[in-house]
Chains A and B, each alone.
Chain A
Amino acid sequence: MQFLEAKFARCQMQFPEGEAVFCPTSFLAMYSGKFTRMLPCVLHTAAGVCLSLLCCEVWAGETDESGFTVGADAQPFLTQGWAGPELGRILSESAVDDLPRHVFADGRGLPPGEGNARDGAILYAGLCAECHGSEGQGGRALELVGDRSLLDTEYPDRGLAVFWPDAPTLYEYIYRAMPPEQPASLQPDELYAILAHLLELNGLLDPGVVLDKRSLSNILMPNRYGFRTIKR
Chain B
Amino acid sequence: MGVGGLIDDARQAWYFNASVKLMKKRGHHPDGTLASPGRRRTILRAAGLGKAGVIGAGLSRFGQAAEPQSWSSPGRGFSNYGQPAESEKDAIRWISANPALPGEGVSWTPLHELEGTITPNGLHFERHHNGVPHIDIDRWSLVINGHSRRSLAFTLDDLHRYPLQSRLTFIECGGNSNSLWHPQPVQAAAGHLHGLVSASEWTGVPLSLLLEEAGTDGKTGWVIADGLDASGVSVSLPIEKCMDDVLLALYQNGEAVRPENGYPARLVVPGWEGIVNVKWLHSLTLSREPLWSRFDTVSYTDLLKDGTAERMTFEMGVKSIITSPSVGQQLDSPGVHEIRGLAWSGAGRITRVDVSADGGRRWTPAELQEPVQDRALTRFRLPWQWDGQPQVLMSRATDASRAMQPTRDGLLADKGGNAYYHYNAICAVRVERDGSFTHVYA
Question: What residues make up the interface of A, taking CB atoms closer than 8 Å to B?
Answer: 82-91, 95-96, 99-100, 102, 104-105, 131, 140, 151-152, 154, 156, 158, 163-166, 169, 172-173, 175-177, 180, 183-184, 226-232
- Number of residues of chain B lying within 8 A (CB) of chain A: 56
- Contact code string B150-165 (vs A, CB < 8 Å = 1, else 0): 1111110010011100
The 10 nearest A-B residue pairs measured at CB: A176-B232, A88-B152, A152-B307, A151-B307, A105-B292, A91-B151, A87-B158, A173-B294, A177-B231, A84-B162
- Contact code string B227-268 (vs A, CB < 8 Å = 1, else 0): 000111010001000000000000000000000000000000
Shortest C-beta distance, B127 to chain A (Å), equals: 15
What are 7 A-B interface contacts by the 8 Å CB criterion? A85-B162, A131-B100, A151-B307, A164-B298, A165-B292, A177-B130, A232-B314
A89–B156 alpha-carbon span in the complex (Å): 12
Assess whether A230 is in contact with B313, with CB atoms less than 8 Å apart. Answer: yes
Shortest C-beta distance, A90 to chain B (Å), equals: 6
Within 8 A of A (CB), among B306-322: 306-315
A226–B130 alpha-carbon span in the complex (Å): 28
Known contacts A91-B143, A102-B291, A228-B309, A165 near B234 by CB under 8 Å: no
Residue of A87, A226, A229, A230 with most chain B CB atoms under a 10 A cut-off = A87
Known contacts A156-B418, A173-B294, A177-B230, A226 near B312 by CB under 8 Å: no
Assess whether B293 is in contact with A89, with CB atoms less than 8 Å apart. Answer: no
Assess whether B230 is in contact with A180, with CB atoms less than 8 Å apart. Answer: yes
Supplied contacts A177-B231, A227-B301, 7 more A-B pairs, CB within 8 Å: A88-B210, A88-B214, A91-B143, A104-B292, A180-B230, A180-B231, A227-B311
A169–B298 alpha-carbon span in the complex (Å): 10
- Report the nearest B residue to A148, measured CB to CB: B307
Shortest C-beta distance, A88 to chain B (Å), equals: 3
- At the interface, yes or no: B303 with Cβ under 8 Å from chain A? yes
Question: What residues make up the interface of B, taking CB atoms closer than 8 Å to A?
Answer: 100-101, 104, 129-130, 143-145, 150-155, 158, 161-163, 205, 209-210, 212-214, 224, 226, 230-232, 234, 238, 282-283, 285, 289, 291-294, 297-298, 301, 303, 305-315, 417-418
State which of B101, B308, B312 has its C-beta within 8 Å of the C-beta of A230: B312
Known contacts A180-B104, A183-B130, A169 near B307 by CB under 8 Å: no
Shortest C-beta distance, B96 to chain A (Å), equals: 15
Which A residues touch B163, using CB under 8 A? 82, 84
Assess whether A172 is in contact with B213, with CB atoms less than 8 Å apart. Answer: no
Assess whether B303 is in contact with A156, with CB atoms less than 8 Å apart. Answer: yes
A215–B224 alpha-carbon span in the complex (Å): 25
Shortest C-beta distance, A150 to chain B (Å), equals: 9
Known contacts A154-B417, A184-B232, A230-B314, A89 near B301 by CB under 8 Å: no
State which of A84, A104, A169, A232 has its C-beta within 8 Å of the C-beta of B294: A169
Assess whether A89 is in contact with B152, with CB atoms less than 8 Å apart. Answer: yes
Assess whether B307 is in contact with A156, with CB atoms less than 8 Å apart. Answer: yes
Which B residues touch A227, using CB under 8 A? 297, 301, 308-311
Shortest C-beta distance, A129 to chain B (Å), equals: 13
A169–B290 alpha-carbon span in the complex (Å): 12
Assess whether A169 is in contact with B297, with CB atoms less than 8 Å apart. Answer: yes
Which B residues touch A88, using CB under 8 A? 144, 150, 152-154, 158, 210, 213-214
Assess whether B130 is in contact with A99, with CB atoms less than 8 Å apart. Answer: no
